[in-house]
Amino acid sequence: QQTLTLLFAGDAMQHARQLESAGKNGEYDFSPSFGLVRDEISSADLAVVNLEAPLGGPPYRGYPMFCAPDAFAEALKETGFDLFLTANNHILDRFSSGVIRTLRRLDSLQVYHTGSFYDERQRISYYPLMVWHKGFRLAFLNYTYGTNGMKAASPVLINYIDWRSIRDDVIKARHLGADAIIACMHWGVEYDLLPAKEQRTLADSLLAQGVKLVIGSHPHVVQPM
């Protein structure tokens, strides 16, 4: 019997003090930040992280409009993360050009990524994200509740939580023969220890449609299963 171990983490972002501690002479090294969790993450067959800071190029910033050095994503990959989620409320912090640069950098790192797209053609061709691993065919979905009031300039696309769109994506994943459909949702209220009613309702709807796992991000605290 084949088994597959999945690990999910987030939200991966860096504030000003983390930038200061990782930077020296214009170079950045974030690898020490992950030293105590590297073995746990790298031991998973497939590790997924919500990348909640665009790789928009200098100048780099923390809150409230994030922009991470490329070295941040490189450190996440070296730590063992295989799949990067980009549908979150900070993906447009460097506007659409920041989204494009983020996707290009992730492509250059040769990691899986989903949630944001260069254009509609890319979304049609590569979404849901299908990952074949150890004999399993997994479909990954990723959506965000919003992007802090900003909208992507055409042709860039961000996946927002919209039930009709999600339902169509789930149907497509089933037609693609997914052994399991995994929905990664950027939702809820920051620092609330319990899920909101809207989270529960949407989770129930996803499960009823055949989604196997619903993984949440955004509140920055651990909410109950």
CB-CB contact of 174 with 210 (8 Å): yes
End-to-end CA separation in angstroms for the chain: 27
DSSP state of 90: T
Q: Which residues pair with 61 in a beta bridge?
A: 67
CB-CB contact of 124 with 159 (8 Å): no
Which residue has better confidence, 30 or 26?
30
Mean pLDDT of 41-50: 98
Q: Inter-axis angle of helices 197-208 and 163-175, to 10 degrees?
A: 30
| pLDDT reading at 10 higher than 90 | no
Mean pLDDT of 178-204: 97
Instruction: Please give the share of the chain, as a percent, with pLDDT higher than 90.
Output: 97
DSSP state of 82: -
pLDDT classification of 185: cutoffs 50, 70, 90:
very high
Q: Which residues pair with 183 in a beta bridge?
A: 141, 214
pLDDT classification of 142: cutoffs 50, 70, 90:
very high
Residue 70 has φ and ψ, to the nearest 5°, of -55, -30
Among 10-14, 65-69, 85-89, where is mean pLDDT lowest?
Answer: 10-14
Cα-trace Rg, the chain: 17
